[in-house]
Amino acid sequence: MNMGYKINCINKSCQKESKAINIDDLVKNCKDSFGKLKCRICGNSGAYIFRESKLQEKNEKWKRYIKGIITIETEDEDYTPYVFLTSQVMGGEIDGIHFGYYKDLRKKGGKLKHGHGPGGSPVFSKDEIFQLLGKLIHLGVVSKQDFIDFIEKVKE
């Protein structure tokens, strides 16, 4: 089942809805150079995807607004780990980092596979973790000062 992604533009002059057919389309065509979602119609940064998932708890749902995607470059060109940057409220700050990956073997006669396993969620090397942190800093999700404060805190 492929639901695709419904992208809602937040730019006042547009506010239209567009769609990405799958994760690869979303990553390649619907984010700006920082990783913020952009509208397919007006081309401007500033859009969200609403997602709702059932939780284990009866009648409870996990709702989030995906506002950005950071992809991590790896040595395997077919394999793309990424994080969705999410917010619990539509107009809120990014407060969630949701890890995932996809593997695209379509050019080699295989499939576009998105999800979990075998092996579960993505595993990052030290360099890839720093790549992710660097992109979070560029995007303003984490500030350089947050990072400096963190280093101070973990220092003994």
Q: Footprint of Zn ion on this chain (CB under 5 A)?
A: 9, 11, 14, 39, 41-42
Identify which of residues 66 and 83 has a Cβ nearer to Zn ion in the complex: 66
Please, which residues bridge with residue 96 across strands?
A: 86
Q: Taking the complex as a whole, how short is the minimal distance between the CB of residue 51 and Zn ion, in angstroms?
A: 19
Q: Taking the complex as a whole, how short is the minimal distance between the CB of residue 26 and Zn ion, in angstroms?
A: 15
Identify which of residues 14 and 97 has a Cβ nearer to Zn ion in the complex: 14
Q: Taking the complex as a whole, how short is the minimal distance between the CB of residue 10 and Zn ion, in angstroms?
A: 8
Q: Taking the complex as a whole, how short is the minimal distance between the CB of residue 29 and Zn ion, in angstroms?
A: 14
Distance CA 94, CA 125 (A): 24
Identify which of residues 17 and 95 has a Cβ nearer to Zn ion in the complex: 17
Identify which of residues 39 and 49 has a Cβ nearer to Zn ion in the complex: 39
